[in-house]
């Protein structure tokens, strides 16, 4: 691999890797093509590369530059998948350069950080086998929904690692604490009847709306007590609602989907799902939680030696910060591998209709990761 980090990122953007839940187009769906492309590159760089299926034709990539000889292991870990391309105003896979930026799906989230990491590993390839630590490159599937890649990896390989540097667009700040998330479906049931005699039925939509109103007024305030000095308070959003079938039928079902962002103290108090169920029971609301998926928050102490090293390596203003979003780093941390997020690009550009990354930021990230690898010689 001899190309500049800009050319490297362009080549990655031009390989579609849209999460399968975000597209119906098989020609751009899935991470396999990108994983195979990276495997070839990393093999040429001298790595021992494994593609490990997590879902059918959806592999994590694990590249090891040093043998398993007992030295501490650290991983650089971006994710392979991107969100969908619906509504984009630019060619999502052209990787056009304009106005000092590279444009395209994944430019900042997270092929930009990926390119910076790969460029640094290649720049330091001759030294990676002899460093006092082993630095591996691991690319995860499915970060944008489900996080199946990082969950699988931590279960099968977590014991081998002492720290993880997860690639996300953080404007080159060290994100050491993030909120967790709860997605839950709330369902109300009723009794159908003809709309000319609604008194003979039980309207599930009305039941649901009344319950949601109480949740929005009171439950959202209750969880505010679990605030965090960096992250602020937990939040709740009611994002989807559906129910009924026809205007002239009293609906016998209705449901809503909610998103809660969970702070470490809320997680320590039992988690968002437990508190939600307690609130529903305490107020005898006519709803049930029929589907729920909760992800833990992440918090690594700012005085962790690796965080101190990451900050010390920067030749630009860099500090430990928090973020309200969720990433693979939380699953790795929950599984016993302390993890942080860092990378070039801004989260404000992630998932947008005209996603881009500044070339200056990309180059800064590539140099930074190379300097960080270099620091282990000192």
Task: Please give the positions annotated as active site.
Answer: 81, 144
**Burial track 6-45 (b if 16+ CB lie within 10 A, e otherwise):** bebbbbbbbbbbbbbebbeeeebbbbbbbbebbbebbeeb
Strand pairing report for 73-77 and 134-139 = parallel
Angle of helix 359-374 relative to helix 5-13, nearest 10 degrees, comes to: 110
The count of other CB atoms within 10 Å of the CB of residue 132 is 8
Give CA separation, 278 vs 216, 237, 271, 377, in Å: 15, 18, 11, 53
């Amino acid at each position: 691999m001899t190309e500049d980090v800009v050319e490297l990122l362009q080549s990655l953007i031009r390989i579609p890797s849209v999460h399968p839940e975000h597209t119906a187009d098989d020609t751009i769906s899935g991470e396999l093509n990108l994983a195979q492309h990276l495997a070839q590159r990393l093999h040429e760089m001298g790595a021992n590369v494994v593609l490990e299926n997590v879902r059918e034709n959806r592999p994590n990539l694990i590249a090891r530059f040093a043998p398993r000889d007992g030295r501490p292991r650290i991983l650089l870990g971006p994710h392979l998948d991107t969100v969908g391309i619906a509504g984009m105003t630019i060619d999502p896979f052209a990787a056009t350069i304009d106005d000092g930026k590279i444009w395209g799906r994944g430019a900042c989230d997270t092929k930009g950080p990926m390119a910076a990491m790969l460029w640094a590993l290649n720049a330091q390839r001759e030294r990676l086998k002899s460093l006092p630590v082993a630095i591996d490159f691991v690319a995860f599937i499915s970060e944008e929904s489900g996080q199946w890649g990082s969950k699988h990896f931590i279960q099968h390989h977590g014991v081998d690692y002492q720290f993880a540097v997860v690639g996300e667009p953080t404007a080159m700040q060290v994100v050491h604490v993030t909120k967790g998330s709860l997605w839950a479906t709330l369902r109300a049931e009723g009794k159908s009847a003809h709309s000319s005699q609604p008194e003979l039925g039980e309207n599930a939509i009305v039941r649901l709306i009344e319950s949601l109103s109480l949740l929005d007024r009171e439950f959202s305030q209750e969880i505010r007590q679990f605030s965090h000095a960096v992250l602020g308070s937990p939040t709740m959003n009611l994002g989807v609602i559906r129910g009924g079938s026809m205007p002239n039928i009293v609906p016998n079902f209705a449901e809503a989907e909610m998103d809660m962002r969970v702070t470490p103290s809320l997680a320590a108090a039992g988690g968002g799902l437990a508190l939600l169920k307690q609130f529903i029971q305490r107020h005898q609301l006519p709803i049930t939680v029929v589907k729920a998926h909760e992800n833990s928050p992440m918090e690594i102490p700012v005085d962790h030696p690796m965080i101190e090293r990451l900050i010390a390596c920067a030749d630009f203003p860099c500090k430990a910060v928090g973020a309200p979003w969720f990433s693979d780093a939380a699953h790795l941390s929950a599984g016993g591998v302390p993890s942080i997020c860092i990378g070039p690009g801004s989260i404000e550009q992630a998932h947008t209709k005209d996603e881009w990354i500044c070339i200056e930021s990309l180059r800064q990230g590539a140099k930074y990761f190379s300097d960080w690898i270099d620091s282990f010689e000192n």
